[in-house]
Amino acid sequence: ANDAAVAVAEHVKGNVKIFIKRMNERALELGMNNTDFYSVHGLPPGRGQKFDVSSAYDLYLLALELIKHPQFLRWSSIRLDS
Protein backbone atom coordinates (compact mmCIF):
# COMPACT_ATOMS: atom_id res chain seq x y z
CA ALA A 1 0.00 0.00 0.00
CA ASN A 2 2.86 2.38 0.72
CA ASP A 3 4.41 1.84 -2.71
CA ALA A 4 0.96 2.30 -4.20
CA ALA A 5 0.62 5.69 -2.47
CA VAL A 6 3.90 6.81 -4.04
CA ALA A 7 2.84 5.47 -7.45
CA VAL A 8 -0.48 7.32 -7.27
CA ALA A 9 1.27 10.55 -6.26
CA GLU A 10 3.72 10.27 -9.14
CA HIS A 11 0.96 9.43 -11.61
CA VAL A 12 -1.40 12.22 -10.52
CA LYS A 13 1.03 15.11 -10.00
CA GLY A 14 4.29 13.97 -11.57
CA ASN A 15 6.18 13.74 -8.29
CA VAL A 16 5.61 13.17 -4.61
CA LYS A 17 6.51 16.69 -3.39
CA ILE A 18 3.97 18.36 -5.66
CA PHE A 19 1.33 15.82 -4.60
CA ILE A 20 2.01 16.48 -0.90
CA LYS A 21 1.73 20.22 -1.53
CA ARG A 22 -1.69 19.60 -3.09
CA MET A 23 -2.69 17.35 -0.18
CA ASN A 24 -1.98 20.21 2.23
CA GLU A 25 -3.82 22.73 0.04
CA ARG A 26 -6.86 20.45 -0.10
CA ALA A 27 -6.72 19.85 3.64
CA LEU A 28 -6.98 23.61 4.20
CA GLU A 29 -9.85 23.85 1.70
CA LEU A 30 -11.69 21.25 3.79
CA GLY A 31 -11.06 23.24 6.98
CA MET A 32 -8.42 20.82 8.27
CA ASN A 33 -6.47 23.56 10.04
CA ASN A 34 -4.49 21.25 12.34
CA THR A 35 -3.11 18.97 9.63
CA ASP A 36 0.28 18.98 7.92
CA PHE A 37 1.23 16.21 5.51
CA TYR A 38 4.91 15.47 4.85
CA SER A 39 4.45 12.05 3.21
CA VAL A 40 1.92 10.34 0.97
CA HIS A 41 1.80 7.13 3.01
CA GLY A 42 1.78 8.21 6.65
CA LEU A 43 4.68 5.97 7.68
CA PRO A 44 7.04 7.11 10.42
CA PRO A 45 9.55 9.51 8.89
CA GLY A 46 13.21 8.83 8.29
CA ARG A 47 15.98 10.67 10.09
CA GLY A 48 15.62 14.42 9.68
CA GLN A 49 12.11 14.22 8.24
CA LYS A 50 8.95 15.58 9.84
CA PHE A 51 6.00 13.55 11.10
CA ASP A 52 2.60 13.92 9.45
CA VAL A 53 0.29 15.58 11.98
CA SER A 54 -3.47 15.93 12.29
CA SER A 55 -6.28 16.00 14.81
CA ALA A 56 -9.30 13.80 15.37
CA TYR A 57 -11.55 16.62 14.19
CA ASP A 58 -9.55 17.11 10.99
CA LEU A 59 -9.74 13.38 10.26
CA TYR A 60 -13.49 13.60 10.81
CA LEU A 61 -13.63 16.37 8.19
CA LEU A 62 -11.61 14.18 5.82
CA ALA A 63 -13.98 11.25 6.41
CA LEU A 64 -16.98 13.47 5.64
CA GLU A 65 -15.40 14.33 2.30
CA LEU A 66 -14.43 10.73 1.51
CA ILE A 67 -17.94 9.37 1.94
CA LYS A 68 -19.09 11.73 -0.81
CA HIS A 69 -17.06 9.64 -3.26
CA PRO A 70 -18.49 6.09 -3.63
CA GLN A 71 -15.50 4.91 -5.68
CA PHE A 72 -13.24 5.50 -2.67
CA LEU A 73 -15.45 3.28 -0.55
CA ARG A 74 -15.17 0.53 -3.19
CA TRP A 75 -11.37 0.86 -3.48
CA SER A 76 -10.86 0.88 0.27
CA SER A 77 -12.91 -2.30 0.70
CA ILE A 78 -10.70 -4.40 -1.60
CA ARG A 79 -8.68 -6.76 0.58
CA LEU A 80 -6.38 -8.12 -2.12
CA ASP A 81 -5.85 -7.37 -5.77
CA SER A 82 -5.35 -10.60 -7.69
Q: Does residue 69 sit within a domain?
A: yes
- Residue 44 inside a domain? The answer is yes
64 pLDDT tier (thresholds 50, 70, 90): very high
- pTM here is 0.83
pLDDT at 30: 98
Does residue 17 lie within any of the structural domains? yes
Q: At what angle do helices 16-29 and 2-13 cross, to 10 degrees?
A: 90
Tell me whether residue 82 is in a domain: no
Asked whether 53 and 34 are in contact (CB, 8 A), the reply is yes
What is the residue range of 43's domain? 2-76
Number of domains within the chain: 1
- Give the Å distances, CA to CA, from 7 to 57, 81, 82: 28, 16, 18
Tell me whether residue 42 is in a domain. yes
